[in-house]
Every structure is written in C-alpha cells, then in structure tokens.
A = this chain, B = another copy of it.
Amino acid sequence: MLRLSKMSDYAAVVMAHIARYPEQAHAAAELSEAVGVPRPTVSKTLKMLMHAGLLQSRRGAQGGYRLTRTPIEISVSEIIEAIEGPVAMTECSQAEGECGLAATCGVADNWQRVSMAIRQFLDSVTLADLAQKTPIKMPVMLPIQSVSLASISDA
C-alpha cells in the first residue's frame, strides 16, 4: 500500500510533539505518555532520530531531547529517511543495489523520475507544516502528461 512503517509514523508524531515546544527538553517518558506509545518503542524511535541528526539529547536529570534545527528547517522526508532509509519507490531508485532486471525492464528510467518527484515533494513538506493544527493546503501538482506526452516521437 505504499505505506509508511509504523515506526516512521511514530517518529513523525513525536517530532511534531517536540516541535510544538522546541525550547524545552522532552524526556522519553514524557513523550511516551503524551503520544500513547509504549516507552521502549518511543525510545527506540528517538534514538534513530538522534542518529540521523534530527534530535540532540542530554542525559541525566532534566535531560531529554530537543530539535537540532527549527521545525521549518526539517522536512518530513528527513524524518522518514531517519527511520526507513532513503525514499525510493523502486530498487533502482537508490544508488546501490541495482536490480537484475534493469536491462530488460524498460521502465527503470521513468520510475526513477516518479520516485524523485515524490522525494522532492516530501522534501518540501516541513515539520512545521506537519505539526500545525490548521490543515495544510495541498500543493498544486501539474499533471505529468502535460509535459511528457507532447514530445513522443520514437518507438
């Protein structure tokens, strides 16, 4: 279903929560309760976000997590990538692991473009957008055909 993993979802929820009070340090326990996700799981998520450089932590009393950047400077694609790796629809859309069918499949090139379009879109959505209460408006996406089908000439 082209579904985000639950962990990514948690990550987004947690990040959004932190983004609403960016100045405070948020302990894992606090976030766990606020969000309704068991502590160990939330902790794991936080660790991943930290490794990705989206959060900084301080241990000890009064410690916790806070954002390394302002919510406007964090994109949802970064959050997703922190949890599940690069946003890529097909195997061939990542640098590594070229799929064996690349030679015969004939769609690799176009898939990569589609994939890139989605990545760019996700780049353009920020944590601030996600966290705000008022629903964000949808971006205008020009139908792909309008630019592509015009110039077909080969086989």
Contact = CB atoms under 8 A, between A and B. Distances in A.
A148 B152 contact: no
Contacts of A16: 105-107
A76 B125 CA distance: 23
Interface residues of A, number: 74
Copies in the complex: 2
Given A105-B35, A113-B136, A134-B155, A2 B84 contact: yes
Contacts of A43: none
Interface of A: 1-4, 6, 9, 12-13, 16-17, 34-37, 72, 76, 80, 84-91, 94, 99-101, 104-107, 109-111, 113-114, 116-118, 120-122, 124-126, 128-149, 151-155
